[in-house]
Structure 1
């Protein structure tokens, strides 16, 4: 939902809506609804989206009527572009979700919405704190840990992996890279193990998971220091695997390969403070590309702010770059932009 609100262009008089990012707009809209209505919307968001918008809702203080009115007008303008005819159609929901998320990701969500199933089995883990999940699987067989980490979203898996010792991280990352497919019976058994802990039922289907791309995706979300040490360890054990993972990873410098439309979409979702810190450590070519995709006034202001900016810790620069990469990956997963990079992408004719 935050992505939809982010794309709304008209502005309400008296307040510049462009000052709010998509999550803030979503938070204001949800806070202006009843608890029941807000809950109905939140239950259809993905775990990470719920966490993001929930944190903003909890910390929002400058909740003025001017802001509320501005967001409401934006929302109404956007809603008027859509027809509600056929909206209740099960086929419509299936096609819309599959188009937006792809068949694999849409499958579980369709079951929850249309069939009325809650998040159970392995899906229960998506809604848990990463430390909780790490504690749950800590004493399980490494193969079970591997399947769990391959099943969850890369960002959550990276947070879980960070809870383990270096030696365990290395073993699990190499297992993930070598994993290709999990048979239905094995996935069903693992679902049942999870169900026993959370009292529910969950189905199972054949799933292609793991592999070099999954390992690279998880590595992308790891803290920079952890990522570096883990990559060095993998290289010592299997140089070819480390190179293949590295080739599939998308790093900040790879933003130079994203087209102008993609850069503009990323910038709309990035906080100014994070952008300043991130490009302070970027090379001149990438910095110039980013500035060229901003309005003249915004680019001049950013350039002035950068010049006046004092020294920034390398760890802060790296954290800001990770934050922007997270936005880029989310937009890429949603099909809104195409990421280039060392690993390349699909070729088009």
Structure 2
């Protein structure tokens, strides 16, 4: 089972009340993933449940009880890890148990509902809203906006260089009135070229090319900067062997075989070199036996794998800046 499926089994074993208490401390994406996994779990054996519980018990036993549950300890750790601004809303949610409101409420909403909500707003407002979402969520929302608006919105996202806190708070208050909530945002560091590139990464290939072409006509230099920061499937060849092996553990052989249909031969060679000889043979045999595959299926499989790449990068497991790259300070 995947990590999400194991977590779903654990929550289903806890009972409704305890599972609800755990979910209260999770973000929108985590709750959605776990909820879907819990809803689709079937055919789980007693042995699998016992294995999940034993694994959880062993993991728990490795944790120290010193300081756990202390508000000051949790607050200090989060601030040191994320910085005061990023940790602010997370601390509020964990320690104060506040309801998520304002702009953060959008993270819990369906992309179609968000698109309907902002459709008639100024493109700059839409850009700020999308910058506040996770890249895949923002991409799903962007593709639901009118085609003529997409490039304009993404261009504005790429050129956002932070906005005054009072302006962000004002926008947050507008959203609060929509949802009858009250929350004070502390961070104004949203938007930028990297955010725009991440959103484009989650769009279908035809849509991202169309938007980039439009931006190129307006600002060629900015378009190139966005493209330089986009991570595409063929860039897997730049991952270190250890990083690629970590990725392959999370990808099913079936989806990998479909994704490799449209990949550069160098990518296929590097991937097979980082698999066992038997696994590589099975992969290539399956690809040959499958026959022709629709381009849309290939692109969908590649997008799924790239989403895993970005998650591992966010977790610090892999580095998308290339071997030996270091952040400049």
TM over 0.5: yes
Bigger mean CA deviation after superposition, 278-287 or 169-178 = 278-287
State the alpha-carbon separation in 1 of the partners of residues 258 and 103 from structure 2: 37
> How far apart are 1:209 and its partner, in Å?
1.3
Number of residue pairs matched?
A: 329
Find the partner of 2:160 among 179, 198, 205.
179
Task: Flag the 1:99–1:206 CA change in 2: closer, same or farther, 3 A.
Answer: closer
- Quote the offset at 1:233 in angstroms: 1.4
1:107 to 2:88 alignment: yes
Partner of 1:290: 271
CA change 1:323–1:278 in 2 (3 A) is same
* TM alignment of 1:322-337, pairs within 5 A: 322-337=303-318
Cα distance change on mapping 1:281 and 1:118 into 2, 3 Å: same
Aligned to 1:251: 232
CA gap 1:127/1:237 in 2 versus in 1, 3 angstroms = same
Structure 1 residue aligned with 2:172: 191
Aligned partner (choices 7, 12, 34) of residue 31 of structure 1: 12
State how far apart, in whole Å, the 2-side matches of 1:292 and 1:319 are.
24
Choose 305-314 or 320-329, whichever is displaced more: 305-314
1:164 maps to 145
Alignment gaps of 5+ in structure 2: none
Does residue 315 of structure 1 match 2:296? Answer: yes
**Pair 1:280 & 2:264 matched:** no
- Aligned equivalent of 1:89: 70
Residues 76-97 of structure 1, C-alpha deviations (whole Å, 9 max, x = no match): 2222211122111223323444
Secondary structure of 2:14's match?
A: coil
Following superposition, the deviation at residue 274 of structure 1 comes to 1.6
8 Å Cα contact 1:180-1:209 kept in structure 2 = yes
Hey, what's the Cα distance between the residues in 1 that align with 2:84 and 2:309?
A: 21
TM-score (norm 2): 0.93
SS at match of 2:99: coil
Correspondence for 1:124 among 105, 108, 111: 105
CA contact (8 A) 2:151 2:214 kept: yes
* Unaligned ranges ≥5, structure 1: 1-19
Shift of 1:308: 1.8
Q: Matched residues in 2 for 1:184 and 1:345: separation?
A: 33
Deviation, 1:99, is 6.0
Counterpart among 112, 116, 119 of residue 138 in structure 1: 119
SS of residue matched to 1:36: helix
| Contact 1:266–1:328 under 8 Å retained in 2 | yes
Aligned match of 2:326: 346
Counterpart mapping for 1:211-222 below 5 A: 211-222=192-203
Is contact 1:181-1:207 (8 Å) kept? Answer: yes
Assess, with a 3 A threshold, how the Cα gap between structure 1 residues 294 and 46 changes in structure 2: closer, same or farther: farther
How far is the alpha carbon of 1:98 from its aligned partner? 4.7
Over the aligned positions, Cα root-mean-square deviation in angstroms equals 2.1
Pick which of 68-77 and 163-172 moved more. 68-77
**CA apart distance, 1:280:** 2.3
- Please say if residues 29 and 72 of structure 1, whose CA atoms lie closer than 8 Å, have aligned partners that are also in contact: yes
1:102 shift after superposition: 5.7
Select which of 52, 64, 67 maps to 2:48: 67
Instruction: Give distance in 2, aligned partners of 1:100 and 1:36.
Output: 31
1:255/1:339 contact within 8 Å kept: no
8 Å CA contact retained: 1:170, 1:234: yes
Cα 1:98–1:306, aligned 2, differ >3 Å: closer, same or farther?
A: farther
TM-score, structure 1 as length reference: 0.88
Q: Distance in 2 between matches of 1:116 and 1:59?
A: 29
Shift of residue 100, structure 1, vs aligned partner: 5.8
Which runs of structure 1 show a deviation greater than 6 angstroms over 4 or more consecutive aligned residues?
A: none
